[in-house]
Amino acid sequence: MEFIDLKAQYRRLEKSIQTRLNKVMQSAQFIMGPEVEELESALAARVGAQHCISCASGTDALLLALMTLGIGSEDEVITSPFTFIATGEMIALIGAKPVFVDIDSRTYNLDPKLLERAVTSRTRAIMPVALYGQCAEMDAINSVAAKHKLPVIEDAAQSFGATYKGRQSCNLSAIGCTSFFPSKPLGCYGDGGACFTNDDQLAAIMRQTRNHGQDGRYHHVRLGFNGRLDTMQAAVLLAKLEVFDEELRCRNEIAQRYSSMLGEAVCVPYIENHNQSAWAQYTVRVPNRAEVQRSLHEGGIPTAVHYPKPVHLQPVFANLRLSEGSFPISEKASEEVLSLPMHPYMSQSDLANVANALRNALNSVVSLELR
């Protein structure tokens, strides 16, 4: 069994992906070919944003957003400590200080109730993450941001396709950033990402920044970098976009089935009524995770932990002097979360096998503890 079965998706889309890739190879427009613009228009339309600026990865999307807002040394950016390293990493890479706010224990997203007290005179932006595919409480976050005149950057690397109160993730704040890493809900065949905005000026700066700060050929008006999405990846994404809505429906059905099979046995994902998750991950919480994971592995069931160590406790952030206990909800989550196989091509029998194996693993862990 695969954790995410990209091969099954390829078998389905082989013809259209091959046709599109062949076209790129025949045209030899590997950098900024017409497919890049076609993809940007399609993605902007899907999200309902004025602008989509594609780029080389989700990490670059965050970097582009932060650079475009002019954030740098002496500045602070508020974010979640329970995320992939890139979120805090890009804040620190541009010389700013990541300021963490603990998460809500049910959604794993930045807790807006704790947000305001983290704002200081140095705060320059708020960067919530849509973990596992579910948007953070964007209205509450945006209203704190508006009060302090701060831009919000949504780290929507895991939530392309999700909705919040009927609005699309990536279009819920000043800038939305997503990732097309292969295992993401909309993934390419390498690295890729995109920023979305409704602000013409921010869009223009992001377009320049991802291409060495150029406003015309070999005329550089700002510092930038090589952060372009390549044409081959755009071609793959255009093919995958055709089936994306159907895949989202399948992911959602699989998540519902998992939850009905496992709800009694384990803490299953909690999705707010006003949210629709893109189900980048289906993540449960289990006691004695290492044992449960080992037992599943022995039964041929792959699992993953997103993420075993919160960002504030990573060695790279030792300089922030945030000890254990600083963000207890994130720390507890990092000890208990376990992601199960989740992809749109999962069969009913695989789903049932995972659910049964997890129930058995939990029973044996509990009986071991009782001995």
3-state secondary structure of 326: coil
- Find the shortest distance in angstroms from Cβ 155 to ligand PLP: 5
Contact residues toward ligand PLP (CB under 6 A) are 57-59, 83-84, 86-87, 129, 155, 157-158, 179, 181, 191, 193
In the complex with ligand PLP, the residue whose CB is nearer, 67 or 86, is 86
In the complex with ligand PLP, the residue whose CB is nearer, 88 or 112, is 88
- Find the shortest distance in angstroms from Cβ 340 to ligand PLP: 17
- Find the shortest distance in angstroms from Cβ 47 to ligand PLP: 17
In the complex with ligand PLP, the residue whose CB is nearer, 58 or 355, is 58
Q: Which helix (H) or strand (E) holds 336?
A: helix 328-336
- Find the shortest distance in angstroms from Cβ 287 to ligand PLP: 25
In the complex with ligand PLP, the residue whose CB is nearer, 63 or 266, is 63
In the complex with ligand PLP, the residue whose CB is nearer, 63 or 365, is 63
Could you tell me the two tokens for 105?
Answer: 């224990």
- Find the shortest distance in angstroms from Cβ 161 to ligand PLP: 14
Q: Across the chain, where does the E strand assignment appear? A: 51-55, 76-79, 97-100, 123-127, 153-155, 163-164, 167-168, 175-179, 193-197, 214-216, 219-220, 275-276, 282-285, 337-340
- Find the shortest distance in angstroms from Cβ 179 to ligand PLP: 3
Tell me the C-alpha distance between 212 and 219, whole Å. 9
DSSP per-residue string spanning 152-216: BEEE-TT-TT-EETTEETTSSSSEEEEE--TTSSS--SS--EEEEES-HHHHHHHHHHTBTTEEE
Tell me the C-alpha distance between 56 and 119, whole Å. 31
Tell me the C-alpha distance between 181 and 56, whole Å. 10
In the complex with ligand PLP, the residue whose CB is nearer, 84 or 100, is 84
Q: Are 196 and 49 in contact (CB under 8 A)?
A: yes
